[in-house]
Amino acid sequence: MFCPTTKVGALLSRDMKTVTNKKTPSLDEPMQVDASPEENENIKNDHAIVESTTLDLDSYAKQYEGIARLNRLIFIADYCPSLKMEALRMALSYVQITHDTSLYQQIHRRLQDIPSTLPDAVSSVPPLDNMWIELTIKKAQLKLEKLDTDLKNYKSNSIKESIRRGNDDLGDHYLDMGDLCNALKCYSRARDYCTSPKHVVNMCLNVIKVSVYLENWSHVISYVQKAESTTGRTEKEVDPVVQTKLKCAAGLADLATGKYKSAAKNFLQASFDNFKYPELLSSSNVATYGALCALASFDRQELQKNVISSSSFKLFLESDSQLRDILHMFYQSKYDSCLKLLDEIKNTLLLDMYLAPHVKALYVQIRNRALCQYFSPYLSAEMHKMADAFNTNVKDLEDELMQLILDGQINARIDSHNKILYAKDIDQRSSTFEKSIAMGQEYERRTKALILRSAMLKYQVQVKSDAEDRRKEEKPNFARLGEALVLSSTSPSSIGASTSSAGAASGRGECPRYEIDSLVGFYCNQDNSEDGVSA
């Protein structure tokens, strides 16, 4: 049975007055999770009903596995009347390879409730397979009892590896039954029995997967960070497939919570050659989510550098020529063609369960960014020509520009009588001086950082491999090291003596081994007024 916090469970339960509860053996260990399932944090938007679409449902469904395929098919059935019958029939057929008998009955009931608008529509619905239901319930119950007994035996023998595998197997079975809440409990319990970083990462991926199904996005982010911190300590053993999964999960959570720029950055870090995540996303999803979030949040330089010129992301875009054309047209300032192509794919995007609540917001941000970029090179712009470029009328364009001016996105004034947009006068002299001063300060900061780095290399301040762990335990004595590295007031010979004395004081007879890059970062973050290495 689906956990009541899931979207699919809520969508299906509205067509049911009662839901059959399945009795399962109780587990003798309390739930151990970091956070209880929260209410859906997703942006609440009314989903639009899609009357027509060019979506090839069969090829679309084959991109996913397990609950992800069922969730997406049921979502399409809810919001696309023309594909409802086909989507539910595909879901009914696929659910029979699982042990989720409750979902099977719910989908079958919805199929029977579809009005007979087409010839033989009702007669094409397969009859309810009661024999399969009874047999599957018995099989699921027997397997559950066996796994539960095995887990108890493992605990009595106190073998951590066996207990971890037992919890994972039990979680997999609950997931196959559609019981997401108990699956999350079992996967979370495995955390206490992980004996290697690989086991911790595997546990995190399992929890992330179920949390995405539950749409508990804070839980997803939390476990992505745990997995990344674990792989960060063992960089030589990092699996690129795991890294790609973590970036995709983080991007999906950021998209769901409206953090579009962060979502774009995460999706752009996914590796096409190492992408394999059918239980959550397809490669076309990564391309679509990454491209739209980038269009809505990146400036021209970021778009060209991180998206259009990205050798890795280009491989994702190869499967969607329309999306690739949209990116290039936007960058080339062909906004009319770009926005028309966006309108053409809008209905398909509205049938994506994770993207649909954000399509309107993303389209608004993309259009606003296009308006800002269009006007940025000009001191004045005729609104009639501007309206033609954006395929709209002058009145609607004026309303859009007024809102952008009020929000501070465009620094301009509108001549409503002559329909001309004027850029506000800017004191170019003062602006140039401010930029020059800022550039000088940045140059000074970088120069000091280079001097510090060269001094540390010259006097053999070495890098220690476990510097990160040691910094967490004790804060380095920067004051003592600073005394050894002051260049303006100390001769080279005295620096060597100072570092040697500092090392002798520490009992090692050598200069303290602090990580060079960390010291550079520490120094660069100091104010210019603070004491440190001076040029």
Q: What is the DSSP string of 405-436?
A: HHTTSS-EEEETTTTEEEEPP--HHHHHHHHH
Report pLDDT digits (tens) over 164-207. Answer: 999 999 999 999 999 999 999 999 999 989 988 899 999 999 99
**8-state DSSP, 380:** E
Query: ∠ CA 405-410-412 to the nearest 5 degrees?
Result: 75
CA-nearest of 118, 102, 85, 139 to 9 is 102
According to the model, what pLDDT value does residue 233 have? 60
Mean pLDDT of 223-227: 93
Q: H or E element: which one contains 510?
A: none
Pick the CATH number of 7-211 from 3.30.420.10, 1.25.40.570, 3.40.50.1100, 3.40.50.720: 1.25.40.570
Tokens standing for residue 277: 């995540």
CA-nearest of 258, 264, 265 to 288 is 264
Q: What ranges do the domains of the chain cover?
A: 7-211, 239-368, 444-524
CATH 1.25.40.570 for domain 239-368:
yes
**Cα–Cα distance, 249 to 277 (Å, whole number):** 10
**Cα–Cα distance, 533 to 535 (Å, whole number):** 7
Q: Are 75 and 53 in contact (CB under 8 A)?
A: no
**8-state DSSP, 157:** H
- Burial call 458-497: b when 16+ CB within 10 Å, e when fewer: ebebeeeeebeeeeeeeebeeeebebbbbbeeeeeeebbe
Q: Are 526 and 532 in contact (CB under 8 A)?
A: yes
Lowest mean pLDDT among 44-48, 320-324, 447-451: 44-48
Q: H or E element: which one contains 462?
A: none
Q: Are 336 and 397 in contact (CB under 8 A)?
A: no
CA-nearest of 532, 508, 399, 513 to 464 is 513
**Cα–Cα distance, 85 to 111 (Å, whole number):** 7
According to the model, what pLDDT value does residue 361 have? 94
- Burial call 314-337: b when 16+ CB within 10 Å, e when fewer: ebbbeebeebbebbebbbeebbee
- Burial call 384-415: b when 16+ CB within 10 Å, e when fewer: eebbebbebeeeebbebbeebbeeeebebebe
Cα-to-chain-centroid distance, residue 236: 24
Using H for helix, E for strand and C for coil, what is the string for 271-329? CCCCCCCCCCCCHHHHHHHHHHHHHHHCCHHHHHHHHHCCHHHHHHHCCCHHHHHHHHH
Strand partners for 415: 420
**Cα–Cα distance, 56 to 83 (Å, whole number):** 10
- Give burial (CB, 10 Å; 0-12/13-18/19+) of 86: middle
Tokens standing for residue 216: 């508990």
Mean pLDDT of 217-233: 88
**Cα–Cα distance, 68 to 321 (Å, whole number):** 25
Taking the model in full, what pTM does it have? 0.72
Q: Are 241 and 274 in contact (CB under 8 A)?
A: yes
Q: Does residue 440 have a pLDDT over 70? A: yes
Q: Which residue has the higher pLDDT, 15 or 71?
A: 71
According to the model, what pLDDT value does residue 465 have? 56
Which residues, in sequence order, are CB contacts of 505 under 8 Å at separation 6+?
A: none
Strand partners for 420: 382, 415
Q: At what angle do helices 84-95 and 101-113 cross, to 10 degrees?
A: 160
Q: Are 383 and 398 in contact (CB under 8 A)?
A: yes
Residue corresponding to tokens 């140039």? 432
CA-nearest of 486, 472, 483, 487 to 518 is 472
Mean pLDDT of 221-229: 93
**8-state DSSP, 532:** S
Please give the mean pLDDT across all residues of the chain.
80
Using H for helix, E for strand and C for coil, what is the string for 86-122? HHHHHHHHHHCCCCCHHHHHHHHHHHHHCCCCCCCCC
Instruction: Look at strands 380-382 and 412-415 and give their pairing.
Output: unpaired
Q: Are 1 and 179 in contact (CB under 8 A)?
A: yes
Query: Are both 7-211 and 239-368 of the same fold?
Result: yes
Report pLDDT digits (tens) over 32-48. Answer: 444 443 434 444 456 78
Q: Are 331 and 303 in contact (CB under 8 A)?
A: yes
**Cα–Cα distance, 256 to 265 (Å, whole number):** 14
According to the model, what pLDDT value does residue 157 have? 87
Report pLDDT digits (tens) over 455-502. Answer: 888 888 876 655 455 555 554 454 444 444 444 444 444 444 444 444
Report pLDDT digits (tens) over 80-112. Answer: 998 999 999 999 999 999 999 999 999 999 998
Share of the chain above pLDDT 90, in %: 51
Q: Does residue 423 have a pLDDT over 50? A: yes
Instruction: Look at strands 420-423 and 412-415 and give their pairing.
Output: antiparallel
Mean pLDDT of 267-281: 93
Mean pLDDT of 288-300: 94
Helix (H/G/I), strand (E/B), else coil: 382: strand
